[in-house]
Amino acid sequence: MSGVHTWRRWEPLFESFTWPAALRMAAVAEVGAGQRVLDVGCGIGDPTLQVAVLVGPHGRVVGVDIDEGLVAIARERAALLGLAHAEFHVLDVTTAELPENAYHAVLARWSLADLDDVPLVLAKLRRALVPAGRIAVTAWAPPDANPWLAVPLEAVAGRRPVRVLDPVHRGPFHLSADGALARVLVQVGFQQVDQERFPLSLAAPGTDAYWELVSEMTGPLGPLLAALEPQARDQVRRSVGAALERFRTPEGVRIPAQAQLAWGRA
């Protein structure tokens, strides 16, 4: 299944999982009516679209992502919601020039973890903010707080040498340590920096639906599974399903998660 079709299929479940992060980021970034906001790594339009509602028609929200297919979905969603002041661009912030003093707020939800040089990008984002503009960034909390992702990654790592739980280098748990996001914000000159963890919950009809979601979505697990022989993939799937049975509810499975959130002022 292609990445675009996968996102269309799983959009409702993914949205129910991640919407609290969008609202909390907007709150600490003090997003309000009439503001200009940049969303880095917007994917299918989150939190760009939620923020577009907050800034209203006199504001402007720009979402950027390197994946052309995901940006196309984001544009469709904005059009369906009538959010003409939300725009989306295919852009790599590691190499692109950003306008200086252009935005009241910058958001980066889980996109920093995929970068090799986080300070370089954050310094660029700081220059894109107006004086005293605000930034809010997230990463996943450590693996033990995120069994929804750590359990399948650990199962794959037991079968092939992969670096998937590293908090220091790029990957799903990059910058997951308490205080790591705040320290890098301070390093590049942000002021009034703070950090917190906040809870999320991944609810799925069952472990089969959960497995299809995490193995099909764009992310670290899909390529790792694709490199395994079919029999090994099936064994990983069964072991992950068994490990997550402890999170079963009458409606399916509800797997806990935690994210790290840091914010500051330019």
What is the tally of helices (H) and strands (E) in the chain?
9, 8
Contacts of 204 (CB under 8 A, 6+ apart): 13, 210, 213, 252, 253, 255
> How much is the pTM?
0.93
For the four alpha carbons of 156, 159, 162 and 163, in that order, the dihedral sign comes to positive
Domain residue spans in the chain? 3-142+170-204+257-265
Q: Which residues of the chain have pLDDT under 70?
A: 1-7, 161-163, 217-218
pLDDT tens for residues 136-186? 999 999 999 999 999 999 898 877 766 677 788 888 899 999 999 999 999
77-to-38, 45, 74, 82, 83 alpha-carbon distances in Å: 17, 7, 5, 9, 9
Give the pLDDT confidence score for residue 12 in this predicted structure.
Answer: 81
Q: Class for domain 3-142+170-204+257-265, per CATH?
A: alpha beta
